[in-house]
Structure 1
Amino acid sequence: MHWADVIAEKVIKKRDVDKYVVACGITPSGHIHIGNARETLTADAIYKGLLNKGVDAELIFIADTYDPLRKVYPFLPESYAEYVGMPISEIPCPEGCCKSYAEHFLTPFLESLDDLGIELTTYRADENYKKGIYDEKIKIVLENRDKIKNILDEFRKRAKQEPLPEDWYPLNVVCEKCGKLNITKIISYNKEEQTVTYKCSCGHENTVKPFKGRAKLPWRVDWPARWSIFGVVVEPMGKDHAAAGGSYDTGVRIAREVFNYIPPEKVVYEWIQLKVGDVVKPMSSSSGVVFAVKDWEKIAHPEILRYLMLRSKPAKHIDFDLKKIPDLVDNYDNLERFYFENRDRDDLNENDIEKLRMYELSTPRIPEKMPLQVPYRFCSIIAQLAMKDDKLDMDKVFEILKRNNYDLDNITEYDIERLKDRLMMARNWALEYGEKLVIISEEEAKKIYNELDDKQKEWIKYFGEKIKDIEFDALNIHELIYETAKEVGLEPKKAFLASYKILLGKRYGPKLGSFLATLGREFVVKRYGMFK
């Protein structure tokens, strides 16, 4: 059974509710990267697991758009120092393209969710506060100020931290003058008038009703408040929130003792680490170590990202290596083939059934029949050779595929569109993260040819003659390489090496038979026949 179905089953056994609300969220303070997406995709998988069990469920996403800007991040101009402390929903867009700072980073992520096959209800924290959704909770919090302080101080004591000040209030007012909420201090609360008197470091003082967006709960109080507002039953969370004494532990106490609400079941997920060369770094928007979700769409289909996230249990960390995208796509293609070859069988073992479920969870829009598959690495080569005036020459693409023994008689419109996308994505990957395909010049090839041993030179000339007369496709070329190498007494691997040297100037390259078929008869005959 897939881990998402296991979690769904456990939640249903433990909680008897009318609707199983699964929550996830993010603070859009910077580029939303695929590490952030792990939370959303984990929540989506659990949501789909609940639906698979036949219960009523809902997936919600809460964007913490009312959080303050904490500092001038590396990607921001120094001029943004004046906005530090203001809610990010009230700060101008860094590029002037969106209505606010928060929307600038949130919008691309939300737009990607449809492609990822995620259907959810989105809430923005600034709108929630301004609509008054939090007003009743704010009243409860102010009336239970001492109880909340005592709960938090218990955990602070265990962590050997100083207790909160006696005059602390679990609420931050947004200053009417400077617009900041992290430099205001509540002086008093009038329960009868339901007003707070506050003072801001900017010098402004006033007495206000702290409702409809005039104030915001701090995170450790806001989180349990929203659980009770939205009826959250299960929620994935990063290991920092789930650590002993973290915001989940304090949230559990506040939810039960202040809001009289049973806290949601937690699902802890590990970080995704970005591998840059030999260095592995945890992704972080604030430090600039990111690979944005919107950038994923340039290099691979969304179901590949879902597969990357969902093939491992949430508690297992993921090393994301851009160099290995082709391997990831190959693994997904293998899973897809397994699905279509076995989905109608009724004699599968538990492991095989889990594979089918893995494909279903990874692929929200499953095609009707097995689609055309062209390996990602091969697509990166085809796309680089078939570009004409910055556009794919699909006639050339189909010609290359036929020479590589692909049956295109029953190709569908779906196949063509998916192929076009993969070709462009693989090309983007090759140019940015893989290896750009560069065929060396004839002059450079001649120089390299002179450095080869006599047997290799003999084979190149012999192969150059023989290849003129064969049916020019990948299988025939592959067989000819081995036959001619054997006939001149050359080890096949030395024939491959010699070929890569006179074509690419390297000791390695793509599968040679397919590569030569892709290059075309005219080019290959000319290149191998130029050495006299």
Structure 2
Amino acid sequence: MTGLRDIALNSKAWPFQEALRLVKRYEKRAPEKGYVLFETGYGPSGLPHIGTFGEVARTTMVRHAFETLSDIPTRLLCFSDDMDGLRKVPGNVPNREELALDLDLPLTKVRDPFGTHPSFGEHNNARLRAFLDAFGFEYAFASATEYYKAGRFDEMLLSVLAQYDKVMEIMLPTLGGVNEERRETYSPFLPVSPKSGKVLQVPTLERNLQKGTIVYAEPDGERIEVPVTGGHVKLQWKPDWAMRWAALGVDYEMHGKDLIPSAELGTKICRALGRPAPELYNYELFLDGTGQKISKSKGNGLSIEDWLTYASPESLSLFMFQKPKTAKRLHWDVIPKAVDEYHAHLRAFAGQSPEQQLANPVWHIHGGKVPESDMVVSYSMLLNLASAASAETAETMWGFIRKYAPDAGPESHPGLDAAAAQAVRYFNDHVKPGKRFRAPEERERAALEELRARLAVWTGGADAEALQDEVFAVGNAHGFEPLRDWFKAIYEVLLGASQGPRFGGFIALYGVPETVALIDRALEGALAD
């Protein structure tokens, strides 16, 4: 471990760079609580989404990197803010009319529109845990409702009451301009009404530090005094975030770039409470196919279900690993590249030096326990095979794959088997509708006829490189300059696309006789639109 640790200390991979900040945080003495606490937060008014996966996956990568650098134990806490009031009815749930009757109730008091759990908050918490468990994340789950009611936050809530003026000094400047009315009514404390059970956004009229209480007015005007402890109040989310850091001793948390101002406020509040703020890391947000910021309400991005319909979770982890500080398009067309890059990293890993291995994304995706790739055929090649073979099932694909790789099979190559089925779905859903075949021009026809003639007498078997040499030779013989114009013509005439795989590899996979038949169909005009 010492040798690996020395190498990791000098690694430029961003998870190690982040982990180093935590190493320096505790280089003089270990945390009093006995462990380093990583946290991810979740608002259970909606269902888990691809951003949830990204935040937990990236945090886990930093956690594993820290465990390589340090012997201090670690914990990952996935915290659900399920005591928050339901402010609006989500658009993607059933029984919305009934749910509207529960507005402003804590999420753990809102009826479950799905009818499977005691509350909407508990339903979404269960979905979150099942979601995280499905990906094998190691974490502890925490409910705000349980923590508030059990008194886990009592000490720090009393501290917020004691530092009320400082908290208000931090918060009020952020509520100016059009929010003048909110400035006048703002309080970090949101009482849970003993009358209606609702989480009320009302001013704090009086504070009693000795009793640990506040006084507020109910909507009907009645003045009520409640303790700030024991779940009788909840904090507004920005002070709540900071209070949680202080109460639990959170050491590390990630957040989206859009939350930078909130994180800065949280840091100030945390320090006002006399506790150090965690090490924070902000990541860029995702963009849709047109370069617009992805919005859950607009539904203009990929969902986690979308990605997993067409590719493995490991390929999604790679997408999350790469350049988290850079805004990236999260669209259909990034999936094939992510799959192939993931397996390229897997194949390279065994032959790399320890320094290179620690910089390889798959080390971080798999926590250092890197498997071997069983993808003897690339995902992009599977897509082209699905096109040429008009495949509707993975079984059809295996008819070709076995000829190319006789030792491969669904049982021995489960990753390839899953990818074959996913590629068929991807092709039929996202490639086939955009296929546009064209007839060959005169020179292209002559070249295709010669390629067909060469393949018709081919005796070299499924030798991808030798077949690629034949394709090159034909292109050179017919004067294509640059030679990529020849390959572009092949793709457009035979595959209905402007780009494609190394064609020699495609021939080896699809089959020489099958490629001859494909060229015949193109020359006969049976493929052209």
**TM norm structure 2:** 0.79
1:264 paired with 2:264, answer: no
Partners in 1 of 2:467 and 2:188 — Cα distance?
Answer: 74
**Residue 422 in structure 1 maps to residue 419 in structure 2:** yes
1:229-268 to 2 correspondence within 5 Å?
229-243=247-261, 247-258=262-273, 260-267=274-281
The number of equivalent residue pairs is 501
- State the partner residue of 1:304: 315
RMSD (Å), alpha carbons: 3.9
Between the aligned partners of 2:341 and 2:307, the Cα distance in structure 1 is: 17
8 Å CA contact 1:256, 1:262 repeated in 2: yes
- CA 1:110 to 1:380, structure 2 compared with 1: closer, same or farther past 3 Å? farther
Residue 359 of structure 2 corresponds to residue 355 of structure 1: yes
Contact in 2 for aligned 1:117/1:364 (Cα 8 Å): no
Distance 1:191 1:60 in 2: 31
Counterpart pick for 1:275 among 260, 285, 288: 288
The CA deviation string for residues 277-309 of structure 1, in whole angstroms up to 9 with x for no partner, is: xx2122332443443334332222222222222
Alignment of 1:44-193 (within 5 A): 44-53=60-69, 54-75=71-92, 79=97, 80-97=99-116, 99-114=118-133, 116-153=135-172, 169-189=187-207
Letter of the structure 2 residue corresponding to residue 360 of structure 1 = W
Kept in 2: contact 1:34–1:292 (CA 8 A)? yes
Matches within 5 A, 1:393-432: 393=395, 396-404=396-404, 406=405, 408-409=406-407, 416-432=413-429
2:398 and 2:409 in contact (8 A); partners too: no
Partners of 1:379 and 1:416 in 2: how far apart?
Answer: 14
Q: Distance in 1 between matches of 2:478 and 2:256?
A: 62
More displaced, 249-258 or 517-526? 517-526
Instruction: Kindly state the Cα deviation for residue 51 of structure 1 after the two structures are TM-superposed.
Output: 0.8
Q: Deviations over 1:352-373 (max 9, x none)?
A: 35524x3210224745545444
The question of whether the paired residues in 1 share the 8 Å contact of 2:84 and 2:106 is answered with yes
Q: Distance in 2 between matches of 1:148 and 1:437?
A: 56
Q: After alignment, is 15-24 or 282-291 more displaced?
A: 282-291
Equivalent-residue separation in structure 1 for 2:430 and 2:520 (angstroms): 34
Contact kept? 1:30, 1:286, Cα under 8 Å: no
Partner of 2:3: none
* Shift of residue 38, structure 1, vs aligned partner: 3.5
Which amino acid in 2 is paired with 1:512?
A: F
Q: Distance in 2 between matches of 1:467 and 1:136?
A: 79
Paired residues of 2:215 and 2:225 also in contact (CA < 8 A): yes
What TM-score does the superposition give when structure 1 sets the normalisation length? 0.79
1:222 has 2:232 as partner: no
Cα distance, 1:62 vs structure 2: 0.9
Counterpart Cα distance in 1 of 2:84 and 2:416: 42
Q: Deviations over 1:108-145 (max 9, x none)?
A: 44334345453111112122223332233333333443
> Does structure 1 conserve the Cα–Cα contact (< 8 Å) formed by 2:187 and 2:202?
no
- What one-letter code is carried by the residue in structure 2 that aligns with 1:293? I
Asked if 1 retains the 8 angstrom alpha-carbon contact of 2:193 and 2:200, the reply is no
**For structure 1, which runs of at least 5 residues remain unmatched after alignment?**
441-447
Q: Distance in 2 between matches of 1:26 and 1:461?
A: 61
Query: Equivalent residue of 2:17, what SS?
Result: helix
Q: Which residue of 2 aligns with 1:443?
A: none
Distance in structure 1 (CA, Å) of the matches to 2:78 and 2:175: 30
Identity %: 23
Query: C-alpha displacement at 1:266, in angstroms?
Result: 2.1
1-structure distance, mates of 2:424, 2:87: 38
Structure 1 residues 342-361: Cα deviation after superposition (integer angstroms, max 9, x where no partner): 24x6xx6xxx35524x3210
Q: CA deviation at 1:341?
A: 1.2
Amino acid at match of 2:455: I
Q: Give the alignment partner of residue 392 of structure 1, picking from 391, 394, 399.
A: 394
**What's the counterpart of residue 473 of structure 1?**
462
CA distance in 2, matches of 1:507, 1:164: 56
Pick from 50, 55, 63: which aligns with 1:34? 50
Confirm or deny that 1:332 pairs with 2:336. no
In structure 2, the CA distance between the partners of 1:161 and 1:499, relative to structure 1 (3 Å rule), is: closer
> Retained in 2: the 8 A contact 1:236–1:266?
yes
1:10 aligns with 2:26: no
Change (3 A) 1:275 1:316: same
SS for the counterpart of 2:254 is strand
1:213 shift after superposition: 3.2
Post-superposition Cα deviations, 1:389-441, rounded to whole Å, max 9, x if no partner, equal x6521xx544423544x4x54x598851111222223333333444459798x
Shift in CA distance, 42/138, structure 1 to aligned 2, threshold 3 Å: same
Moved more, 215-224 or 27-36: 27-36
Aligned to 1:444: none
Q: Deviations over 1:207-251 (max 9, x none)?
A: 5455443321112321222123222122223334433xxx33333
Using CA pairs under 8 Å that are at least 6 residues apart, name the structure with larger relative contact order, 1 or 2.
1
The 1-side partners of 2:283 and 2:125 are apart by: 22
Q: Does 1:379 align with 2:379?
A: no
SS of corresponding position for 1:262: coil
Preserved CA contact (<8 Å) 1:66 1:125: yes
User: In 2 relative to 1, CA 462–164 (structure 1 residues): closer, same or farther, beyond 3 Å?
Assistant: closer
Deviations 1:79-102 (A, max 9, x none): 354443333333334444555434
**Which whole-Å CA distance do the structure 1 matches of 2:299 and 2:220 have between them?**
31
Shift in Å at residue 167 of structure 1?
7.3
Deviations 1:302-353 (A, max 9, x none): 22222222232x443333343122223333233222211124x6xx6xxx35
AA matched with 2:286 = Q
Separation (CA, whole Å) in 2 of partners of 1:434 and 1:98: 40
| Cα distance change of structure 1 residues 295 and 29 upon mapping to structure 2, 3 Å threshold | farther
- Partners in 1 of 2:388 and 2:412 — Cα distance? 20
Per-residue deviation at 1:69?
2.7
Compute the displacement of 1:172 (Å): 0.9
